[in-house]
Every structure is written in structure tokens, then in C-alpha cells.
Structure 1
Amino acid sequence: MTDRKDKIKDYDIMLQKHIDKKDFIKINRTFKDREENISGFMLAITRQFILLQVDNEFMLDGYAIIPKDRFDSIRCNNYDKTFKRIYKEEGLLDTQYGFNQSLSLKSWHELFSDLKKLDYHVVIECEDKDDPDFVIGPIKRVTKDKVGVQYYDPTGKLDDKPTTLSYDDITIIKFGDRYSTTFKRHLRKSK
């Protein structure tokens, strides 16, 4: 058991070095033989989660939270160092890097409660299911083991009732991106 704890501690030290150095990284993830990778800057780690500021074609576009047990590996090679250099030369690391709000990464319940208080619309994915879930919308209910999100479709129509997702199924949460923050202003209730 001590060997496992030492490996986890060593891994966390390596992850913290990426944060301290503001490394651009790629998180490799595989679900049901599909790759679902994501890149950006790791901002924080806890026992349970990784907070990532997401890259979208040399723009910082929101944040992602990934459970620490829901990814395969982290890459930081010459490609990623080139991306960091470009972000730095474009001045984006000085002007857009970071997350300046209080967000608990201790438990699912605290995390979703904070995101709800901050009034973020979230994208929640459960990619490891035979029929993966993709839910976008405002957080309506947070319980000990589930979250309820009022889904909206691509026409901006809100569902009448929240979609409930079990924390055990969640593989990634995204928030603060241009898509959801813009769409949030143009939603309509179902008739």
C-alpha cells in the first residue's frame, strides 16, 4: 500500500510542476475505443480533480474539470512547448491565464454547488457509457451523489425538467467557454 501512495505522491508532484511552470499540456483520454483528448494549461489539482484552462486554436476558451481517475496520460513535449511559446509571444499568458474565482475541488457536491453559485452553465459529459451523455445548461439541483442540469438543445430551447446525472458517470465538466456563455443569453423556455 505504501508503494501505491508513493506513486500517487510522485505523480502529484509531477502534475504540480506542470502548474508551477505554466506548461501547456495535452491530456490523453480514451473511452470505448474513442480518443477524447483535451489541451490547455493545468491550473490546479486535488485528490479528486484536475482543473484545466482549455485551448481552442490559440485561444483560451473556458475551463474543464477532469476526475483524476478518468484520463490515460499527460503529454508535455516539444509540440506543447511550441504552443506555450506562441501563447507567451501573443501575450495571452499575461492577460488571460488563470481562474480568479473561488471554486472548491474537494468533492463533486462542493464543486457543483460553487459552479451553481457562480451561475455558470456547464457542459457535462459521461463518455464511458455505451450511449454517452452530453448535457449543457444551468445547474438546477445538487445532491450528495447527483447533479441536475436543465438541458437546452441547439435551438436554445430549455427542457422543462432537469436531466439528472450520477457523479460516478461524469468524465468531464466544461464551463466558462464562449459557446455556453453566449448561448446562456439567448435561451427560451419550451411552450
Structure 2
Amino acid sequence: MYRLAQHQQQRNLVSISRSGIDAHSMEAFVLGVSEELVLLQYVYDFHLDGLMILRIADLTVVECSETCKFQRELLVQDGLLEQVPFDSLFDLRNWHTVLTQLANAYPLMILECEKLEEPDFVIGRVDQVTPEEIDFDYFSGTGRWGESLTTLALADITSCQVETSYIKAYQRYFERTASLP
């Protein structure tokens, strides 16, 4: 956690690995950190691609390599560093507090439970959050809303994403078709 806070303070681009969950590392800027969660500005192919929250317990490597330093400089030269919301304030104490806050700020999100025997991925919006679980109004890859809510245990959630290109494409679809319930 100390190193994450240090990377946040220094505004470093970091490479993050989660062995056993994702075979690939990801690049991101650390925007906030607590004992349980880390808030990241996800960077994909030199584009800022939304916010991601991960469980600290799942992180296996966090480093600021020479490649990260060079790529950060490329982002600076392209004017993207000034678009990173380093001053974001989210309550990262636990999934309950941050999901409640995100539900009020963002219409859609992705939640993943990647460590289950059958990993779960849902995209949609929050209906209700309790200290133990979340009721989620989800839709399919074809933009069809589920007939009932799905419930996820907060303890199973490994990742939350908002404002990604993927999510924004569906948001535009729902706005065009006025099919957001």
C-alpha cells in the first residue's frame, strides 16, 4: 500500500499484475488507495480508458519500470497527463462505500468476480448496495436488459470499471434508442 501511495503522489505510470486473475499486466495511474482498494486511471494503448477499482489483495506486482517512465513521457507530450483526474475523491474504504458513490456519479459500470469457480462479468447499473451485496440491473452483449436483477456478494468482486470506451459505446446506444429503463 505504501508503494501505491508513493506512485499516486509522484503521479507515476505503473504496471500492475494480478497473477492468477489476468495473464496480462495493465498500465495505470494511481488515483487513490485504501487498505482494501485502489482506484486507477486505466491506460490502454496510450489512451485514458476510464476508471478501474481493484482489490489490493489481488495485486501481485506494481512497478514503475523504465518502459512506464518512457510511456508516461509520451502521454505528457500528447497532453494526456493533464486529463488524468488526480484530484478525484472517492471513499475507498470498501466496496460498499465506493460502489454507492460510483452509482450516483456514473450511469453504467462493469463489475467482475474473477476469482469464482465460474468467473462473473456484468455490465449495467446499480439498483441497491448493502454492506454485503449489490443488486445489479444488467444487460447482455446485445443491449437487452435482464428480466430480473442479479445479486453479487461484495466479497466476490475483484474489479469495477466506469467510463471505459466499452461502457461509453453502450451508453451512447441506450441514449440513441432511449432504451435505458
TM-score, scaled to structure 1:
0.85
Structure 1 residues 99 and 122 mapped into 2: Cα distance closer, same or farther (>3 Å)?
A: farther
Q: What are the ranges of 5 or more consecutive residues in structure 2 without an aligned counterpart?
A: none
1:119 equivalent in structure 2: 106
Q: In the alignment, what sits opposite 1:37? A: 25
1:53 aligns with 2:35: no
Residue 58 of structure 2: SS of its match in structure 1? coil
Deviations 1:141-168 (A, max 9, x none): 1111111221111111111212111111
Aligned mates of 2:68, 2:88 — CA distance in 1: 27
Residues in 2 aligned to 1:23 and 1:119: alpha-carbon distance in whole angstroms: 26
Deviations 1:7-60 (A, max 9, x none): xxxxx332222111111111101226x525321111111111100000111110
CA distance in 1 between partners of 2:86 and 2:6 (Å): 18
Matched ranges for 1:11-160 at <5 A: 12-31=1-20, 34-94=22-82, 96-98=83-85, 102-160=89-147
- Equivalence for 1:8: none
Judge conservation of contact 2:31–2:87 (CA < 8 Å) in 1. Answer: no
Q: Percent identity?
A: 27
Kept in 1, the 8 Å contact 2:36–2:92? The answer is: yes
CA positional deviation for 1:184 = 2.1
**Whole-Å Cα distance in 2 between the matches of residues 173 and 82 of structure 1?**
28
> Which letter does structure 1 place at the counterpart of 2:92?
L
Runs of 4+ in 1 over 3 A off after TM superposition: 99-102, 187-190
Q: TM-score of the superposition, structure 2-length normalised?
A: 0.89
Partner of 1:164: 151
Shift of 1:126: 1.0
Q: 1:36 to 1:139 in 2, by over 3 A?
A: farther
Q: Measure the CA separation in 1 of the matches of 2:155 and 2:24.
A: 18
CA distance in 2, matches of 1:110, 1:58: 30
Structure 1 counterpart of 2:111, one-letter code: I
8 A contact 1:41–1:52 mirrored in 2: yes
In the TM superposition, what is the alpha-carbon distance from 1:100 to its structure 2 partner? 5.4
- Does the 8 Å CA contact 1:160/1:189 hold for their aligned counterparts? no
User: In structure 1, what is the Cα distance between the partners aligned to 2:49 and 2:27?
Assistant: 11
Distance in 1 of aligned mates of 2:89 and 2:3: 24
CA RMSD of superposed structures (Å): 1.9
* C-alpha spacing 1:101/1:84, structure 2 compared with 1 (3 Å): closer
Could you say what secondary structure the match of 2:125 adopts?
strand
